[in-house]
Chain A
Amino acid sequence: MRKNADPGPTELRDLADEDLMQLVRRGEAAAFEVVYERHTSAAFSLAYRMCGARAAAEDVVQEAFLSLWRSGARYDRARGSVRTWVLGIVHNRAIDSLRRSVVHDRRRASDEGIEERFEARERTEVEVARLDEAAEIRQALQTLPAEQSRVIELAYFGGFTQTEIASMLDTPIGTVKGRMRLGLEKMRAQLGGLREVTS
């Protein structure tokens, strides 16, 4: 705890996410801003990948970070990194958004072809490491049999339930669930000793 410390902007940027969260739970906006800066692009990227539209992705990210701000006291470092926590919130919000969408317009981001306009420029070593990790995970996903990668993508990035996927693919639901598990097990085996990159 940094009870009496009032770190300035530079000092805040030197703190690990987990230490920043101690300040966030005390209501310190400057600490939250650093957390926001570190993870907002990843959050937006995930939201955009899932929602397939910039406006919807912006709404999801805004809701997610405000929820994060208001629930900072719930963060428990024993259960994972701040980044995973943030992205988990974004993922949940995006799925909620997709599932309550009246139109059920679930176009993927690649359909719009605007990625280039927002393409991120990674700068730090941590970000480079995360890019490597992401590439490894994508590679693991791509090497799965198509029927396994498809159900995983539909569920995780499309927000579809197993029932919806079974209907879309005209496949028994038990088969869908089995493909999900087998696909994830293969990915886990491929990823081997991969460890999460922390700030």
Chain B
Amino acid sequence: MSFDTCPRIDDAGSYVLRAMPEGEWEGYLAHIAGCQVCADKVAELGFVADGLLNAVPQLTAPPEIRDRVMAVVRAESELLLAAGPMADRPIERQSARRFTLQRLRPWPASVLASALLALGVGGGALLVGGDESASPTRTIACSDAPAGARCSMRVTGDSTRLVVASLPAPPEGRIYQVWLDRANGVAPEPTEALFSVREGRASVAVPGDLRGVKRVLVTDEPQGGSEVPTRQPVIVARMA
């Protein structure tokens, strides 16, 4: 667009404040790609929005968060380093997406973080192959998975991992979530295992007590996960 203004210019404020409903946000993102006026406005206002992130009363974080976070990080670091240099290779970026991101800086670095994060949630343990301990590994093939996808559960001692390959990425704005189904007449239990795939692959630790679990399920859910499944499972692994 070559005009000095745009009828959608007011949307720029709502966009950088992340006040747009999801569908509208995506529509405006597409609009910006072809409207220099709005792209410039988003960049200008995004600077303020980023500044607002820091403009809150500063508190000291409780130390127990650090303990919890670093316990997970150290455990995953050991696995990642043991997997060798290929384990953390960067994803090949799609050129069209990259173009959009660069045009919209600085705000999209924040706005799109959740979408980018979705790609990385499984990344910590991605490509970690082989046994994770000296215990024998039992492999359970998934009974249901999307056509062309490969999926198995690998049980080593008390540790269980869901390993997938050739699995399509979850729909835009969604993320895969692992569920434990005890087939006891109540809804499956949610887990904190949220993941996407890197080049179709992921290796995800299945948390929680798996005793009595009949099936491990995977559904695609909104970012952050859900308390109850909102979609039919895309993966089913029968544990017993």
**Which residues of A are at the interface with B, using a C-beta cutoff of 8 A?**
25-29, 32-33, 36-37, 40-46, 48-49, 54, 58, 61-63, 65-74, 76, 78-80, 83-85, 87-93, 95-97, 100, 109, 115, 118-122, 130-131, 133-135, 137-138, 140-141, 152, 155-157, 160-163, 165, 174, 176-185, 187-188, 191, 194, 196
Q: Do A29 and B51 form a contact, CB below 8 Å, given A44-B59, A85-B110, A161-B19?
A: no
Of all chain B residues, which has the CB nearest A139? Answer: B55
Known A29-B74, A42-B54; further 17 A-B contacts with Cβ < 8 A = A25-B90, A26-B81, A48-B59, A65-B65, A70-B117, A70-B120, A84-B50, A88-B53, A119-B59, A119-B60, A155-B18, A162-B21, A180-B10, A181-B9, A187-B48, A191-B48, A196-B51
Q: How far is the CA of A36 from the CA of B68 in the complex (A)?
A: 12
Whether A93 and B110, one on each chain, are in contact in the complex, defined by CB atoms closer than 8 angstroms, is no
Interface residues of B in 23-68 (CB under 8 A from A): 41, 44-45, 47-62, 64-66, 68
Query: Nearest Cβ distance between residue A73 and chain B, in whole angstroms?
Result: 5
Whether A29 and B55, one on each chain, are in contact in the complex, defined by CB atoms closer than 8 angstroms, is no
Whether A91 and B53, one on each chain, are in contact in the complex, defined by CB atoms closer than 8 angstroms, is yes
Q: Chain B contacts of A49 at CB under 8 A?
A: 56-57
Q: Chain B contacts of A191 at CB under 8 A?
A: 47-48, 51
Whether B61 and A184, one on each chain, are in contact in the complex, defined by CB atoms closer than 8 angstroms, is no
**Which residues of B are at the interface with A, using a C-beta cutoff of 8 A?**
9-14, 16-21, 41, 44-45, 47-62, 64-66, 68-70, 72-74, 76-77, 80-81, 87-91, 101-102, 105-106, 108-111, 113-114, 116-117, 119-124, 222-224, 226
Whether B65 and A44, one on each chain, are in contact in the complex, defined by CB atoms closer than 8 angstroms, is yes
Whether B55 and A137, one on each chain, are in contact in the complex, defined by CB atoms closer than 8 angstroms, is yes
Whether B117 and A74, one on each chain, are in contact in the complex, defined by CB atoms closer than 8 angstroms, is yes
7 shortest interchain CB distances as A-B pairs: A88-B110, A71-B120, A180-B13, A181-B13, A27-B80, A44-B61, A155-B19
